[in-house]
Amino acid sequence: MRLYDLSIILHPHITDVELPATLESIRKELQAAGARELQEELIGKQRLGYLVQGNRFGHIIFFRFENEEQNINSIKQKLNLQPEVIRSMISLVRHGLAFKPVHKPFRRGGSRAGQGTGFSASHLNTSKFSPKIETTATQPAFETAPAPAPAQKVDLAELDKRIDDLLNKETF
């Protein structure tokens, strides 16, 4: 017996009422093929990273089970025949890995409470790739621009006269 992970994307047209029946039929097919110690994690309806058979969304489900090697191909064939399944993948799990939920919801923009902001590259060691730039305390890291002069009030008649003068010049 070997340990396998099964990832399934179901068609997005399946309603919340139809979903338990569909999951039950998948469970029965796995058990009929000899799967034991069945664990599952229902992620729910998610936006997919790319179109899968013309669908932008899909219900995502993960299963973990033990089975004999010779039964895996029959499980793949049965899943491919189900019209509700738009994508499936079975992978072999290294021995001894615990079943953990793998889904973390992705949220665009903003920050999550207590988790900082967005992407953090603090775990990356970039010292090999970027040259070290040394700065001294007397040398500023960048040049500062002078502060803009305070705005002066302009008379509209004077502005019109300047514009007419510029347009009348034949310097084009």
Tell me the per-residue pLDDT of 13-43, one tens digit each, with 9 for 90 and over.
Answer: 999 899 999 999 999 999 999 888 888 899 9
Quick one: which of 37, 54, 50, 41 has its CA closest to 3? Answer: 37
Beta bridge partners of 59: 10, 45
Q: Give the span between the Cα atoms of 136 and 126, in whole angstroms.
A: 22
Q: Give the span between the Cα atoms of 109 and 118, in whole angstroms.
A: 7
CATH for 33: 3.30.70.60
Q: What predicted TM-score, i.e. pTM, was given to this entire model?
A: 0.55
140 found inside a domain: no
30 found inside a domain: yes
Q: Give the span between the Cα atoms of 61 and 22, in whole angstroms.
A: 11
Q: Give the span between the Cα atoms of 2 and 65, in whole angstroms.
A: 8
**Structural domain count of the chain:** 1
Question: Quick one: average pLDDT of 106-110?
Answer: 53
More confident site: 106 or 64: 64
In this structure, what DSSP letter does residue 144 have? P
Supply the pLDDT for residue 116: 47
Q: Show the domain range for 68.
A: 2-92
Residue pair 67/35 in contact by the 8 Å Cβ criterion = yes
pLDDT tens by residue, 51-105: 999 999 999 999 999 999 899 999 999 999 999 999 999 998 876 555 555 555 5
160 found inside a domain: no
8 found inside a domain: yes
37 found inside a domain: yes
Q: Give the span between the Cα atoms of 56 and 47, in whole angstroms.
A: 6
32 found inside a domain: yes
42 found inside a domain: yes
Quickly state the pLDDT bin for 159 (edges 50, 70, 90): confident
Q: Give the span between the Cα atoms of 65 and 37, in whole angstroms.
A: 6
9 found inside a domain: yes
Alpha carbon of 52 to those of 16, 98, 141, 164: distances in Å?
A: 20, 29, 49, 63
